[in-house]
């Protein structure tokens, strides 16, 4: 909390910093209760790096009363609100792990915008983001035979690293919870499909994991589609090793997945993020 307090003091003394926090809070407020895509964070003002790193946390604090009011209006259970907002703390830890830096860089601060305008909710083990399909994603789904297209609503699934194994039971429980949640809290919205974009959907994964691996069972739930434009090797390095820079020879080899990831990369192969879809009724 100490660096957040220091940033808060700096903001009180510096109108340039204060206007970034107010403007960012304003963008989030303007998007409140709408599906993603939400606002893009404005470029941060110049200043002390230790202060700039914590400005997104202050923007979270700025918008928090409005977010809580939005959740109250939708009658979101308190445990869902708490679990959803716990991601702020997790992203502060992840920023140190992935980038070796305190605070929130643009990547993870940008990720949190969807939580802060009421588009994303953590329900059980998984996170669900209300999304309005863009042109490319909409056409891809249409061509895959799903009853939706550009402009339609879907739910995008995210898998936090925290929360333990991704057993079929926890996934089933989360999906059932989410179906009930969205029917009750967003009766005005219909989602044609559940989408997911992840390295977890790389079809090479089940081939290298032990029989009975949770990741393979998770992937089997989806119709796996095309390769996303994210760099899959980087995704895997981040989510499996928490690091993108360590030479392959120095990466830990303590799990079957870690051995398989390094094995493929050393053979000159690559990991890929894929899209996947699951019918949603």
Ligand X SMILES: CC(C)(COP(=O)(O)OP(=O)(O)OC[C@H]1O[C@@H](n2cnc3c(N)ncnc32)[C@H](O)[C@@H]1OP(=O)(O)O)[C@@H](O)C(=O)NCCC(=O)NCCS
- Binding to ligand X by CB under 6 A, coded x per residue (else -) over 222-241, reads -------------x---xx-
Residues in Cβ contact with 91 at an 8 Å cutoff, skipping those fewer than 6 apart: 104, 108, 109, 111, 112
CB of 249 to ligand X, least distance (A): 17
DSSP letter (8 states) at residue 249: G
CB of 255 to ligand X, least distance (A): 4
Q: Does 67 bind ligand X (CB under 6 A)?
A: no
The C-alpha atoms of residue 78 and residue 143 are separated, in whole angstroms, by: 39
Q: Does 265 bind ligand X (CB under 6 A)?
A: no
Binding ligand X (rule: CB under 6 A), the pick from 36, 142, 204, 214 is 214
Binding ligand X (rule: CB under 6 A), the pick from 255, 266, 269, 279 is 255
- Binding to ligand X by CB under 6 A, coded x per residue (else -) over 146-185, reads -------------x-x---xx-------------------
Separation in Å, CA 135 to CA 86, 113, 119, 138, 140: 32, 22, 19, 5, 9
Using DSSP's 3-state secondary structure scheme, residue 239 falls into: helix
Q: Does 221 bind ligand X (CB under 6 A)?
A: no
Q: Does 249 bind ligand X (CB under 6 A)?
A: no
Which of residues 65 and 269 has its CB atom nearest to ligand X in the complex? 269
DSSP letter (8 states) at residue 193: E
Window contacting ligand X (CB under 6 A); options: 10-18, 20-28, 83-91, 254-262: 254-262
Binding ligand X (rule: CB under 6 A), the pick from 116, 131, 209, 262 is 209
Closest CA to 258 of 268, 275, 243: 243
Q: How many residues bind ligand X (CB under 6 A)?
A: 19
DSSP letter (8 states) at residue 43: P
The C-alpha atoms of residue 258 and residue 14 are separated, in whole angstroms, by: 47
CB of 156 to ligand X, least distance (A): 11
C-alpha angle with apex 278: 163 to 199, nearest 5 degrees?
A: 55
CB-CB contact of 52 with 27 (8 Å): no
What are the structure tokens assigned to 75, written together?
Answer: 């009658």
Q: Does 251 bind ligand X (CB under 6 A)?
A: no
Binding ligand X (rule: CB under 6 A), the pick from 198, 219, 272, 275 is 198
Q: Cis link prior to 37 (omega < 30° from 0)? A: yes
Which of residues 44 and 125 has its CB atom nearest to ligand X in the complex? 125
Q: How many Cβ atoms sit within 10 Å of the Cβ of residue 77?
A: 15
Residues forming contacts to ligand X in the complex (CB under 6 A) are 159, 161, 165-166, 198-200, 209-210, 213-215, 235, 239-240, 255-258
């Amino acid at each position: 909390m100490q660096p957040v307090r220091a940033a808060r003091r700096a903001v009180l003394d510096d109108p340039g910093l204060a206007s970034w926090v107010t403007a960012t809070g304003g963008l989030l407020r303007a998007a409140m209760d709408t599906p993603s895509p939400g606002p893009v964070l404005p470029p941060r003002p110049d200043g002390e790096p230790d202060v700039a790193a914590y400005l997104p946390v202050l923007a979270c604090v700025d918008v928090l009363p409005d977010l809580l009011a939005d959740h109250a209006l939708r009658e979101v259970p308190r445990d869902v609100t708490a679990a959803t907002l716990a991601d702020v703390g997790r992203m502060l830890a992840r920023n140190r792990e992935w980038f070796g830096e305190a605070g929130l860089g643009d990547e993870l601060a940008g990720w949190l915008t969807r939580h802060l305008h009421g588009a994303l909710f953590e329900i059980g083990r998984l996170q669900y983001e209300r999304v309005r399909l863009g042109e490319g994603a909409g056409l891809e789904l249409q061509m895959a035979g799903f009853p939706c297209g550009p402009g339609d609503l879907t739910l995008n699934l995210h898998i936090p690293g925290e929360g333990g194994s991704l057993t079929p039971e926890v996934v089933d429980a989360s999906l059932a919870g989410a179906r009930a949640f969205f029917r009750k809290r967003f009766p005005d919205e219909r989602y044609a499909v559940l989408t997911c974009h992840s390295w977890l959907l790389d079809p090479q994964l089940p081939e290298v994991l032990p029989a009975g691996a949770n990741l393979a069972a998770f992937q089997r739930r989806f119709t796996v589609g095309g390769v996303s434009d994210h760099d899959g090797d980087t995704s895997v390095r981040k989510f499996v090793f928490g690091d993108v820079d360590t030479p392959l020879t120095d990466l830990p080899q303590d799990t079957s997945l870690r051995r398989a990831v390094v094995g493929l990369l050393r053979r000159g192969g690559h990991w890929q993020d894929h899209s996947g879809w699951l019918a949603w009724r």
